[in-house]
Amino acid sequence: MHIIFQQLLNGLSLGGVYALEAVGFGLIFNVLKFSNFSHSAIVAISAYFGFFISRYLFPNFAVTLLMTAIFGGLIGVVIEKLIFRPIRLKNAPLTLFLVNSITAAMLVQQVFAATLGSDYYTYPEFMKETAWRLGAFTVSKTYVIMLTISALVLLFLSYIIRKTKIGIAIRAASSDIRTPSLMGVNVDFIVSVAFFLAGILGGITGYLLGMTYSVDPFIGSMILKGIIAAIIGGIGSLGGGVIAGLLLGATESLLISQIGASLTPIVVYSSIIILLLIRPEGISGKRFIVKA
Amino acid sequence: MILEIKDLSISFGGVAAVVDFSMYQEENKITGIIGPNGAGKTTVFNLITGIYQADSGKIYYKGRDITKLPAHERTSLGISRTFQNIRLFNNMSVIDNVKVPYVVKIRYTIFEEMLKLPRVLREEKSIDDKAREMLGYFGLAGYSNYKPKNLPYGIQRRLELARALMAEPELLLLDEPAAGLNPGEVEELMKLILKIQREKKLSIIIVEHHMELIMNICSMIHVLDFGKKIAEGTPYEVKKNRKVLQAYLGDEG
């Protein structure tokens, strides 16, 4: 019984990272209506950045996490300025955004493979004790911290989107990107902010993934689970993405303990296909037309 | 004179949409732009608000050349509009919809906002008060927490008007405000436009097919056909104009 509980906790904390990925992906989808695979580039770059600063600069967990988060945000802004803004200002079709985002993701992956690909990089051990004992349970500190951080970050983001003036402008742009400029909203700035926020999530994702596993050039491809969570959650609904991320993480973990690591992905992926056949709008129930 | 347009032209893929259009807008006056479908009326609005950049010609707002200014800066100078096809933010509540044009006027950074400085709290309250006051002014107070798409069409039109006024404009552009309204609602709309013009001291330009509305409330009318101005004048003059009758009714007119 307590094995299942432990698996559930591990699964939830991994699910928390999926939720971060789903929201980072969903935020850009909401505003610009395309699937932003370049989010994986932010995750990968941040994972390496987090490794290098925590290994060689400040061996302090909180400081380096914060630095990586902000760094991820800045990378998001740079990526938007470099590859999305020029085509947006030319009113390019959404397919081109998709192509640019995939190309950027692969480019970053290949650059890391060519330069740092021969090695695995492991984050320093931040905590002397890696587990807490609670009676019969052993709780991994890393997992608890991961879950806590994901929750805090998502609450923070939800506050910004729901309550602040920048959040009102982001929601307006998500509803109809052509109109807010006629309300005096600088849409270019709002798009930058959206990429900054998504980038912060990507930076934290990269850091947490790098800290839990190790950093390799393909670490960015782990956002695929987050993208799946965003779609199951009902793309367009950030809350749905969070729930789907947690569910996905927990289900995976439980299945691995019950039927093994090789069968689990098969069961998970086929369930997702069946779920979306039955409910194409995802679990949040919002009808949303997915373009590109 | 609040707005002056000089020889404005734009074409799309070789097709001239607006050709050498000029007009003046006097302060505190209501002007109409009429013309058959595809005459370029909405394009003129899109040029004034900055959705399109003119190929040639100039736009002056209160004496300032705004021809190249981006849309959001024109709005902050005091130009606001509604849309032919209602463009409300359907994923947001009615009250958040009307807050959009107002929040950008408030100057504080997101960091101050998160720290909840007293000034920010005051500003937040002022945004909320202002939004509620505006909804009340348009008789929409009861709909604050609704999503716009669930509201009747006439209410959505009024909400768009409320939102446009939250930008605190001096020049208001109304793009077919009577479209889809029944005769009773058009009557109400006419009164409403006259009321906001008077009480908010607005200059208004209306694009409209509804002749009764145009003839009743506009002091000056411009008639467009195939992107060109074919007539201008008072409602009486325009009604008598032979070219206008031809444009609307064909050559037999």
Taking only the tens place, the pLDDT of each residue in A157-194 is 999 998 888 899 999 999 999 999 999 999 999 999 99
For the cut 60, the answer to whether the pLDDT of residue A243 exceeds it is yes
Predicted local confidence at residue B186, as pLDDT:
93
Task: Look at A292 and B195; give whichever has higher pLDDT.
Answer: B195
Predicted local confidence at residue B108, as pLDDT:
64
Domain range annotation of chain A:
2-278
Predicted local confidence at residue A36, as pLDDT:
95
Predicted local confidence at residue B253, as pLDDT:
41
Please, which residues bridge with residue B4 across strands? B24, B60
Mean pLDDT of chain A: 90
CATH value of A2-278 in 3.30.530, 3.30.1370, 1.10.3470, 1.10.10: 1.10.3470
Task: Look at A98 and B110; give whichever has higher pLDDT.
Answer: A98
Find out whether A174 and A27 touch, Cβ atoms under 8 Å: no
Query: Among all residues of chain A, which has the CA nearest to that of B74?
Result: A184
How many whole angstroms separate alpha carbon B20 and alpha carbon B63? 20
Residue A126 is classified by DSSP as: -
Among B81, B90, B100, which would you mutate to test the A interface (most chain A Cβ atoms within 10 Å of its Cβ)?
A: B100
Find out whether B58 and B51 touch, Cβ atoms under 8 Å: no
Q: Considering only CB atoms, which chain B residues are within 8 Å of A155?
A: none
How many whole angstroms separate alpha carbon A146 and alpha carbon A13? 6
Find out whether A249 and A11 touch, Cβ atoms under 8 Å: yes
Task: Look at A198 and A284; give whichever has higher pLDDT.
Answer: A198
Q: What is the pLDDT of residues A90-116, one digit of tens each?
A: 989 999 999 999 999 999 999 999 999
Q: What is the pLDDT of residues B85-98, one digit of tens each?
A: 999 999 899 999 99
Q: Considering only CB atoms, which chain A residues are within 8 Å of B80?
A: 182-183
Q: Considering only CB atoms, which chain B residues are within 8 Å of A160?
A: 110, 114
Predicted local confidence at residue B150, as pLDDT:
92
How many whole angstroms separate alpha carbon B157 and alpha carbon B140? 11
How far, rounded to the nearest angstrom, does the alpha carbon of residue A265 sit from its chain's CA centroid?
19
Measure in Å the smallest separation between the Cα of B136 and chain A Cα atoms.
20
Predicted local confidence at residue A189, as pLDDT:
94
Task: Determine phi and psi for A245, rounding to 5 degrees.
Answer: -60, -45
For the cut 50, the answer to whether the pLDDT of residue A288 exceeds it is no
Predicted local confidence at residue A15, as pLDDT:
94
Which of B92, B110, B167 minimises the CB distance to A166?
B110
Q: Considering only CB atoms, which chain A residues are within 8 Å of B49?
A: 182
Task: Look at A187 and A286; give whichever has higher pLDDT.
Answer: A187
Which of B87, B110, B167 minimises the CB distance to A176?
B87
Closest residue by Cα to residue B23 from B73, B58, B72: B58
Contact call for A165 and B106, based on CB within 8 A: yes
Measure in Å the smallest separation between the Cα of B200 and chain A Cα atoms.
18
Model confidence at A17, pLDDT cuts 50, 70, 90, reads very high
Q: Which residue has the tokens 């007539």?
A: B231
How many whole angstroms separate alpha carbon A134 and alpha carbon A128? 17
In this predicted structure, which of A210-219, B23-32, B238-247 has the lowest mean pLDDT?
A: B238-247
Predicted local confidence at residue B192, as pLDDT:
95
Predicted local confidence at residue B233, as pLDDT:
93
Model confidence at B251, pLDDT cuts 50, 70, 90, reads low
Predicted local confidence at residue A1, as pLDDT:
65
Mean pLDDT of chain B: 91
Contact call for A168 and B75, based on CB within 8 A: no
Predicted local confidence at residue B112, as pLDDT:
67
Task: Look at A217 and B120; give whichever has higher pLDDT.
Answer: A217
Model confidence at B234, pLDDT cuts 50, 70, 90, reads very high
Measure in Å the smallest separation between the Cα of A169 and chain B Cα atoms.
6
Cα–Cα distances (Å) from A259 to A3, A15, A97, A255, A267, in that order, read: 14, 19, 39, 6, 10
Which of A176, A181, A184 minimises the CB distance to B89?
A176
Q: Considering only CB atoms, which chain A residues are within 8 Å of B110?
A: 160, 164, 166
Task: Look at B1 and B135; give whichever has higher pLDDT.
Answer: B135
Contact call for A183 and B100, based on CB within 8 A: yes
Predicted local confidence at residue A126, as pLDDT:
78
Q: Which residue has the tokens 């934290």?
A: A204
Q: Quick one: average pLDDT of B24-28?
A: 94
Q: What interface predicted TM-score (ipTM) does this complex get?
A: 0.87
Closest residue by Cα to residue B216 from B198, B235, B197: B235
Which of B72, B105, B127 minimises the CB distance to A181?
B72
Predicted local confidence at residue A202, as pLDDT:
97
For the cut 90, the answer to whether the pLDDT of residue B201 exceeds it is yes
How far, rounded to the nearest angstrom, does the alpha carbon of residue A125 sit from its chain's CA centroid?
23
Predicted local confidence at residue A290, as pLDDT:
44
For the cut 60, the answer to whether the pLDDT of residue A286 exceeds it is no
For the cut 70, the answer to whether the pLDDT of residue A292 exceeds it is no
Please, which residues bridge with residue B175 across strands? B207
